[in-house]
Amino acid sequence: MTEDQLLEQIQKQGLLAPESLARLRRNAASSGESAEAIISRERLVPDAKIAELKSALMNVPYEKIDAKTIDEKLFSLVSEETARTYGVAPISLADNLLVIGMLHPDDPKDQDAVKFIARQNHLNLGVYLISYGDWTDVLRRYSPYRSEIERAVQSLDIKEGHAGQRAVDLSAATGNEDAPVIKIVADTLKEAVFNRASDVHIEPQEGSLRIRFRIDGDLQQAASLPAELAQPVISRVKVISNLKIDETRMPQDGRFRSRLLDKDIDFRVATFPTPLGEKVAIRVLDPTTGLKNFDSLKFRYKALDVVKEGLEKPYGMILITGPTGSGKTTTLYAFLQRLNNESVNIVSLEDPVEYFVSGVNQSQVRPEIGYDFASGLREILRQDPDVIMVGEIRDNETAGLAVQAALTGHIVLSTLHTNNSAGVVPRLVDMKVEPFLLPVALNLMISQRLIGVLCSSCKQQEEASPQLQQVIASALAGLPAEITGNYPQPYKVWHAKGCSVCKGKGIQGREAIFEVLKMTSDLEEIITTSPTIQKISQEAKRQGMITLRQDGVLKALDGSVSIEEVLRETEE
């Protein structure tokens, strides 16, 4: 079965819109990654559905597997290298029958590989088709993080002691004594990437070295190492980040790139001095999780039409607002990718460049040498741009230059710190932008928040409590009947108790909720007379704008997110 045949079936089944399918083909061609891998990573279509389509095409039975239930002994029969190279995974061994799952059971090379394993061990062979997601879960079983870390620590033979009293001077060690520390750092980064962590914190404590991952917005402890390892581990991170090892009194910033789990990952490193030693924060910039296409943002109903219309305009500003960590940069990159084609010159100013996007001319500002957003914007205009992305509008000068760029025939994408979309205009006026310029310069004002996605394996639907019924009804009041008609009363919500798939958390990843306010003649009149948040909010309501809370409630009723988290993260 070819990839084209699979994509044809996806098209016939209507599982992806034509434009999404075309974008998928382009992404697969440009990245060299399989379309199936992209579909699984971006959750465009459920893994099980893709596997069922393949099963029907190849006439091979599909088996849903749970990686956690696979016998540990099977991993010695099928090596990690074989599993990765040939897209296979051991499932079971009983009565001399070895059952193996395969991503491509019709591939002759993959067939030869599993037949060789069976012959070598004098076993009969059974084969099932497995989903891409299940296969990646099995790969994780080959390198359990905590046991590897424990073995590395044990090999150092560290004795009991207080922080700062090292039994082994690893900073001066050479040869084999360095290997365990190198392995600890490498395995930690690999584990962070596998768990889709956005940040790694390496923190010296009074009696230990604490390693924490930020996953889905929450910090979780991943490991606790002897305090004696603090300096060697942090020194190793500084070495690969090209930082000064002997400078421990001042914060430092660095960056490095590595290939982990078959992906090129960028890591942004920042050190910070504390009384117990240097703390290190590592931002994990995984393009497979941080870079999303426009469709995966999940704008819906009127908001989707308004955003598409705004991106098609030949000039004007599109500003995205929200608190730190609300996914603004991810949305900016998705917009860039939608606008990115060979006929458009896109130039960006970022601090720092988080992801490298092919076809976009990206530049990192360096305020310490006088190259900031304001000076960069002046230079960008000499680069004949069609689209300009400014990472953040932080000061009056940058705000004024961005408005001028929008007025002179450019699309300008940027972010701004306000609580909601109605706060954009007052904030720009506060930054000394003349109000009469804004109606012409501004196209869209978008606000967003990130909400945890309920685990699809353990979420269950139930009728909302009487109190929640009232809250939901109040939130949906004012929305058009074509939307509210899809959600009959009594309202039903979803909850996830936690399972082995989501590691007891009940959530898997996060998605954004949005509100989108566009410029209108009525809004123009408000801006030029009395641009208060209250009046702008009234105009937004007149436009029929779906607010953050309304978008969140609708997604909660659809079963994507928790209604309680939506209510916590949004205002009435």
One domain for residues 434 and 449? yes
Q: Label residue 355 exposed, middle or buried (CB < 10 Å: 0-12, 13-18, 19+).
A: middle
Instruction: Indicate the residue among 285, 307, 332 that finishes a domain.
Output: 285
Tally the C-alpha atoms within 13 A of residue 283's C-alpha that lie toward its C-beta: 14
Pull the structure tokens for residue 263. Answer: 């992906």
One domain for residues 321 and 408? yes
> Cα separations (Å) of 224 from 177, 210, 217, 329, 449?
20, 5, 21, 32, 32
Contact 425, 537 (CB under 8 A): no
Instruction: Indicate the residue among 285, 309, 325 that finishes a domain.
Output: 285
One domain for residues 235 and 352? no
One domain for residues 278 and 189? yes
Three-state secondary-structure class, residue 53:
helix
Q: Exposure string (b/e) for 32-59, b if CB count within 10 Å is 16 or more?
A: eebbbbbbbbbbbbebeebbbbbbebbe
Look up the domain containing 444 and give its range: 291-569
Spatial separation of the C-alpha atoms in residues 281 and 273, rounded to whole Å = 11
One domain for residues 279 and 298? no
- Report the length, in residues, of the chain: 572
Contact 248, 241 (CB under 8 A): no
Pull the structure tokens for residue 129. Answer: 């088709």
Output the pLDDT for position 170.
27
One domain for residues 505 and 368? yes
Candidates 479, 548, 552, 563; CA nearest to 321 is: 548
Output the pLDDT for position 143.
67
Task: Count structural domains, the chain.
Answer: 3
Output the pLDDT for position 457.
83
Q: What is the pTM of this model?
A: 0.69
Spatial separation of the C-alpha atoms in residues 394 and 417, rounded to whole Å = 8
Q: What residues have CB less than 8 Å from 10, skipping those under 6 apart?
A: 16, 21, 45, 50, 53
One domain for residues 313 and 445? yes
Spatial separation of the C-alpha atoms in residues 251 and 272, rounded to whole Å = 5
Spatial separation of the C-alpha atoms in residues 93 and 102, rounded to whole Å = 15
Spatial separation of the C-alpha atoms in residues 512 and 494, rounded to whole Å = 17
Instruction: Indicate the residue among 230, 251, 285 that finishes a domain.
Output: 285
Three-state secondary-structure class, residue 341:
coil
> Cα separations (Å) of 556 from 145, 453, 466, 514?
34, 9, 16, 13
Contact 146, 133 (CB under 8 A): no
Per-residue three-class SS string for 64-108: CCCHHHCCCCHHHHCCHHHHHHHCEEEEEEECCEEEEEECCCCCH
One domain for residues 559 and 411? yes
- Which residue has 């789990």 as its token pair? 261
Three-state secondary-structure class, residue 47:
helix
Output the pLDDT for position 147.
65
Contact 113, 88 (CB under 8 A): yes
One domain for residues 273 and 376? no
Output the pLDDT for position 146.
67
Spatial separation of the C-alpha atoms in residues 510 and 216, rounded to whole Å = 6
One domain for residues 337 and 426? yes
CATH of the domain at 200: 3.30.450.90
Output the pLDDT for position 431.
92
Output the pLDDT for position 213.
93
Helices 47-58 and 3-13: angle between axes, nearest 10 degrees: 110
One domain for residues 205 and 59? no
CATH of the domain at 380: 3.40.50.300
Per-residue pLDDT of the chain (572 residues; tens, 9 = 90+): 788 888 888 888 888 888 888 888 887 877 677 888 888 877 788 888 999 999 999 999 999 988 888 888 888 888 888 888 899 999 999 889 999 999 999 999 999 999 999 999 999 999 999 999 889 888 877 766 766 777 777 777 665 444 333 332 323 344 445 678 888 898 899 889 888 888 999 999 888 899 999 988 888 888 888 888 899 999 999 999 999 999 999 999 988 888 877 778 889 999 999 999 999 999 998 877 777 888 888 888 888 989 999 999 999 999 999 888 888 888 999 998 889 888 899 999 988 788 888 888 999 888 888 888 888 888 888 898 999 999 889 889 989 999 999 998 899 999 998 888 999 999 999 999 999 999 999 999 999 999 988 988 888 898 889 899 999 999 888 888 888 888 888 999 999 888 777 777 888 888 899 999 999 888 988 988 888 888 898 888 888 899 999 999 999 999 999 999 999 888 76
One domain for residues 128 and 148? no
